[in-house]
Chain A
Amino acid sequence: NAGVTQTPKFQVLKTGQSMTLQCAQDMNHNSMYWYRQDPGMGLRLIYYSASEGTTDKGEVPNGYNVSRLNKREFSLRLESAAPSQTSVYFCASMSSGGTDIQYFGAGTRLSVL
Chain B
Amino acid sequence: EVQLVESGGGLVQPGRSLRLSCAASGFTFDDYAMHWVRQAPGKGLEWVSGISWNSGSIGYADSVKGRFTISRDNAKNSLYLQMNSLRAEDTALYYCAKATRTQIAAPIDYWGQGTLVTVSS
A and B are interacting partners: no
